[in-house]
Chains A and B, each alone.
Chain A
Amino acid sequence: MVCSLTHEQACSTTKSRIRILRDEEFGNNLISLCFQCDDAHCMQSCAYGALGRSSETGAVLVDDHLCNGCEACVIACPLGAISLDQEKKVVFKCDLCGGDPECVKVCAREALIETNTDRASKERKSLLTETAKALSQRGT
């Protein structure tokens, strides 16, 4: 909720960059959140050059002016971490809040941890993977 609050000034699961699919029977919830992959399928799939990597945070960012909402990246993403904004007709995804993720500040269970955001990307990626794993194991 904090995610959509920060980015859209309104609270909405549909507009959150973190999506959670609940499993009611056993509690094995599925969490989808961008890993900011090194070999980013989304960037490669974009015919408009709307996706690019930030040199500061290493996050893959969407340029709203270039995106035409074709959703090729939505399909390309193996994690389901990109969604289409039905009103603006452009895609949105986690941008690491410019290097200071707001979600981390309210995660009471410490399932989300802020990791090293310089470009030591291997370390970053493995930590993010671990974080996501921890998240999906614990559920939220």
Chain B
Amino acid sequence: MKGGISQMYGWAGRRLRVYLTEGKIVKEPLPGDLRENYLGGRGFNSKTLFDELKPGIDPLGPDNVLMVAVGPLNGTAAPASSRWTVTAKSALTDGLGDGNGGGDFATELKFAGYDQIIFYGRSPEPVYLWIDNDRVELREASHLWGKTVRATNNLLTEELSDREVRILCIGPAGENLVRLAKVFSNVTRTGGKGGLGAVMGSKNLKAVAVRGTGAVKIARPAEFFEQVKHAYKKLSASPFLRMFREQGTLFLVRSASEWHALSTRNAQSGYFEGWEKLTSEAFESQYAVKHRGCFACPVSCSHYYRVKDGPYATHGESNEYGTTYPFASKCGVDNLAAVLLMNTICDQLGLDTHSCGNTISFAMDCWEKGLLTVKDTDGLELKWGNADAIIQLLPKIAYRQGFGRLLGEGSFRASKQIQGSESCLRTVKGLEVSALYLGPVTNVAQALAYATSTRGADHLRGGVMLYAMGLPRLAEILGSEMAVKRMVEEPRSIEGKGVLVALDQDFSAFFNSLEVCTWIVGQMHQGLNPDDLARLLTTCTGDKMTGEDLMKIGERIYNVERAFNIREGMGRKDDTLPESFFVEKVTPWGPTGISEASFQEMLDEYYAFRGWDENGIPTKEKLEELGLEDMAGQLREAVTRHG
């Protein structure tokens, strides 16, 4: 069968609607509005979610809509253009839920000729979607139900007799509607924080398998190739590239420890005494096998590992900072081999290491405070550092057994069942706070980014990549170099942080929609900036775009996501932080935490710069400026309804 040869440059130009209840599949052209105003991936999904979802529905019911989308640069030679975005109403936050993953699923989908897949309803039986270029069908998946992520991949590859089939699937955790479940591609690449694996499971959809032999057409091939070479050259010159390649995200263990920002024992402090056993150097010398990259990636940050023997013998891929800190420092574990085994178990059962580790850390905190006893935990002693208990707990969570059933609901819901545990909670909008502790040198902008992120506390939606836009551009917007310098050099000063976070969020919104990886833009100002990406996009699609245009698109996407959350009943009250952030302490390394008053001041500045009113609702003028005036009515209605 002939591949999906696109009639369009860059985009494939088609999307799929899959009605699972009826078993019906509809192919349709990609709307021009989406292409021009939302770029791809995250933008497509967020807009479609706003347009097609009824407010107030149950995220795990048949009314939720699950989407997978890719962007115009996927499947081209543009560096690290390998990402896909999965979106639905989140099972954890009841707001927007999305996640971004790598591998080469996204490129294969483009080669098959599709930009977006939208799943509706709920299949009566377990099924998987098989896309073989133009042939798309739902197939029975009862033989795959209950299988781990790796087994599902192996069985499907065998069944479809093609080793080049790319698979997106869930593990047992997703099937069992565990709110900490994620969606997996290439066995270990994950996306979908906020329980999107459970949403997929609730639809009885086990997997999406794709084979595409078509091509992505390029509008101006020679010029595009020049831009690609320029991009590779720029990235190769960056001092960060080598560090990312050699260490992956694990470099953050050392950095975070030096900043006293390594979240320790449920974020009670930012310093973990066993951190040296967890660094990339320790990993590299004992367990690393080799690294591997996603499609068209110059970085290759993912590491294969093998623990040869001992009680924690295992092998797998992708030991990340996002695995290490939640299970290690946050739970007080300093045994790297045990952490690697936990990573393998999560990857196989389909669990999110971030939320899962953070939820267990919450449970350990409750245990240490005497709020939980052996009677509650099926005999497990959840002392700080008890790695064996965590390893026993993970399957219980995935299969919803005993105490695992409670934790599988996520820490936010679990805390409602554990009396007096509110002070142990570390969530924003129901999603567990990730990445960094608000230490003495952590930029307070990070705290604001957690509070205002559209998918709940999140380090990937602005904050960590501060200044990624490049200092000259920031200086242009703020009017002076001095203002920028203050922002960078005074991490604890609140001035200007609202502006910084807003710009960074817009930036992440558009590069997530282009579906290029954080690593190639998130290298301080050494990576690709909006102008570089605009040139790549222009030569690829033939539509003229500038860096400014892209930032505008980012802002539009962010406002759509905000509008979705407001319609679901969120507002200023939800743009806040766990109470532990507001406890100001003076540690030997400097002051930590932030006062509530300072935080509110930052938030006011942020709203003002965004063009939102004091309750965080986008004003009519802002919506008109972004071409979103038709959302104004729905927002007004939502504000009246939710008070």
Contacts and interface: CB of A to CB of B under 8 A. Distances in A.
Contacts of A14: 3, 111, 213-215
Contact of A10 (B164, B218, B228, B241): B218
Given A12-B214, A25-B187, A26-B315, A5 B221 contact: yes
Contact of A11 (B76, B150, B188): B76
Given A25-B150, A26-B315, A108-B232, A140 B293 contact: yes
Given A25-B187, A26-B304, A109-B298, A8 B290 contact: no
Contact of A1 (B76, B236, B245, B291): B76
Given A10-B216, A10-B217, A106-B298, 8 more contacts: A11-B75, A12-B213, A12-B216, A13-B111, A26-B289, A27-B290, A27-B317, A139-B292
B107 A22 contact: no
B221 A106 contact: no
Interface string A1-44: 11011101111111100000110111101000000000000000
Report which residue of B2, B77, B153, B315 has the largest number of chain A beta carbons within 10 angstroms of its beta carbon: B77
Report which residue of B235, B289, B292 has the largest number of chain A beta carbons within 10 angstroms of its beta carbon: B292
Interface in A105-140: 105-106, 108-109, 138-140
A5 B81 CA distance: 15
A1 B213 CA distance: 13
A71 B354 CA distance: 50
A32 to B, nearest CB: 12
A25 to B, nearest CB: 7
Interface in B211-227: 213-218, 221, 224-225
Contacts of A25: 150, 187, 315
B505 interface: no
B2 A86 contact: yes
A129 B289 CA distance: 23
A75 B164 CA distance: 19
B215 A11 contact: yes
Given A8-B215, A14-B213, A86-B213, A1 B187 contact: no
B24 interface: no
Nearest to B231: A106
Interface string B173-189: 00000000000001110
A26 to B, nearest CB: 7
Contact of B218 (A5, A21, A22, A106): A5
The 10 A-B residue pairs with the shortest CB-CB distance in the complex, in nearest-first order: A108-B298, A12-B215, A1-B77, A10-B215, A14-B213, A11-B76, A9-B221, A24-B187, A11-B216, A27-B304
A34 to B, nearest CB: 19
Size class of A's contact patch? Answer: 20 to 34
Contacts of A4: 215
Interface string A88-116: 00000000000000100110110000000
A101 B508 CA distance: 35
Contacts of B289: 26-27
A2 B163 CA distance: 23
A108 B225 contact: no
Interface residues of B, number: 44
Contacts of A56: none
Given A106-B77, A108-B298, A2 B225 contact: yes
A87 B133 CA distance: 15
A6 to B, nearest CB: 7
B374 to A, nearest CB: 38
A29 B188 CA distance: 16
B2 A87 contact: yes
23 contacts: A2-B225, A4-B215, A5-B76, A10-B215, A11-B77, A11-B215, A11-B216, A12-B215, A13-B111, A13-B164, A14-B111, A14-B214, A21-B164, A24-B186, A24-B187, A24-B317, A27-B290, A27-B317, A87-B2, A102-B225, A105-B232, A108-B232, A108-B298
B104 interface: yes
Contacts, number: 100
Contact of B215 (A15, A22, A26, A138): A15
Given A11-B218, A108-B236, A21 B163 contact: yes
Contact of B104 (A15, A22, A109, A138): A22
A139 B304 CA distance: 12
A24 to B, nearest CB: 4
B59 to A, nearest CB: 30
A11 B228 CA distance: 12
Interface in B191-238: 213-218, 221, 224-225, 228-229, 232, 235-236
Contacts of A5: 76-77, 218, 221, 224-225, 228
A87 B221 CA distance: 20
A13 to B, nearest CB: 7
A27 B187 CA distance: 11
A86 B290 CA distance: 36
A8 B217 CA distance: 9
Contacts of B290: 27, 138-139
A19 B520 CA distance: 24
B216 to A, nearest CB: 4
A15 B291 CA distance: 26
A24 B153 contact: yes
B512 interface: no
B296 interface: yes
Contacts of B187: 24-25
A12 B291 CA distance: 24
A40 to B, nearest CB: 26
Contacts of A108: 79, 232, 235-236, 241, 298-299
Contacts of B216: 10-12
B189 to A, nearest CB: 10
B300 interface: yes
A4 B77 CA distance: 9
Contacts of B104: 22
Contacts of A1: 75-77, 296
Nearest to A19: B164
A27 B118 CA distance: 31
B213 A9 contact: no
Nearest to A137: B290
Report which residue of A6, A10, A29 has the largest number of chain B beta carbons within 10 angstroms of its beta carbon: A10
Contacts of B315: 25-26
Contacts of B292: 27, 29, 139
Contacts of B235: 108
